Chains A and B, each alone.
Chain A
Amino acid sequence: MRHSTRISVGPVRFRVGSDWREPVAALERLYASYPQDDARPADATVRLFAARPWRRWLRPSVHIGGDFVVPDALPLPLAMGLLAAEMGMNLQVALGWRRHMLLHASAVARDGRAVIMSGESGSGKSTLAALLGEGDWRLMGDEFTLIEPASGDALAFPRAVSLKNEAIAEMAGRVDAARLGPLLAGTPKGDIRHLIPRPEAVAAMHEPARPALLLFPRFGGEVAIEPMGEGEAFVRLTEASTNYIALGEPGFAALTRLVRETPAFGISYPDSAAGMALVEQLWAEAAQ
């Protein structure tokens, strides 16, 4: 790899190598304020490499490689190198991480207690977390939340937020342009633009938070709150976890504890403002 950088996001340290300078330069800008720990070896390696050496010059395309090879990771045009790097980092964590239970969920925290929001792509969990993170919440992560099996604590994974489509305009109106990455238009996931989390969220990325609420958001439809039983929350979170099976009994124990100790709700909301209001309402009720 001709160009490389190291990035620490929460407990994970990445090495990202690339045949091209642009994706590495873009990553270095997005992660410039993140704490560095140069003495620590990387936990995961992401490589963006030319499909064939000569293709670097003819028709550049980016392939993702690393400690794990995922056959259906699409080759992307060079302009999408930043997205490829993000996908590579996600894959490395999703497939390779064993120290914590990994939930495909966003999370925000206040006073050392966390709201964990799990949902499919399009559920609005990422946008909701990003918007709350601009208020008086600490953004823990827009995509992954880690659960420490021994303590049951939630750990942050505050990578640069991946804003998609409508969320880009919604956020761009609220934040300093210096916190936004380049617009990646027309990717396989639509338009994408990265948002650098607030400095407080980055500075606090190693501070655990106690899970206080489990939410399963659904964007669209009337405002609704449905209390969810422990069993259903358990099933949904096994589906939302990328490494539940690999963790074995510690994962089973962590998940049963999480759903027993944390009130869970399905929420529906027609727009972000209503979603944020629901989170605040349930938070206030949970605190009583």
Chain B
Amino acid sequence: MGEKSYRAAPADTLRIEALGELTAIFDRRSMQTHLVVAPMPEILAAMDEGIHTAATIAGRLATDFELEAEGEAVPVIIERLAELAAMGLVAEA
């Protein structure tokens, strides 16, 4: 399966507020509120401007969270990125 690439939402379009175990995200474009749990906020935080793949994000999360066996994280991040794209919070590049 070819790995997809994603782009973060433009700066200032998302308002992200951590509420305990849940994170509420307000999308100023759609006016929708999304409620997500880990690792969604972490994935969004790891995406700066530019093009990302699950592997590059896994690499960043590994550094930030001292994740061991970052390769195992990749399939999970692929799924989560697809879900974030379905919510409109990231876009396929």
The verdict on A231 contacting B20 (CB below 8 Å), with A238-B33, A252-B15 known, is yes
Q: Given A231-B35, A235-B35, A238-B33, does the pair A249, B26 have CB atoms closer than 8 Å?
A: yes
Determine whether the beta carbon of B20 is less than 8 Å from that of A252.
no
CB pair A256 B31 closer than 8 Å: no
Number of A-B contacts (CB under 8 A): 41
Which residue of the partner chain, among A229, A249, A253, contacts B20 with CB atoms under 8 Å? Answer: A229
- The dominant DSSP class at the B interface is strand
Number of interface residues of A (CB under 8 A): 16
Q: Are A234 and B24 in contact (CB under 8 A)?
A: yes
Q: Which residues of A contact B23 (CB under 8 A)?
A: 231
CB distance from B21 to the nearest CB of A (A): 6
Does the CB pair B19–A231 fall under 8 Å? yes
A24 CB within 8 Å of chain B: no
A-B CB contact pairs (8 Å), 29 listed: A229-B19, A229-B20, A229-B21, A230-B19, A230-B20, A230-B22, A231-B19, A231-B20, A231-B21, A231-B23, A231-B35, A232-B22, A234-B22, A234-B24, A244-B33, A245-B31, A245-B33, A249-B15, A249-B26, A249-B28, A249-B31, A252-B15, A252-B24, A252-B26, A252-B33, A256-B17, A256-B19, A259-B19, A260-B19
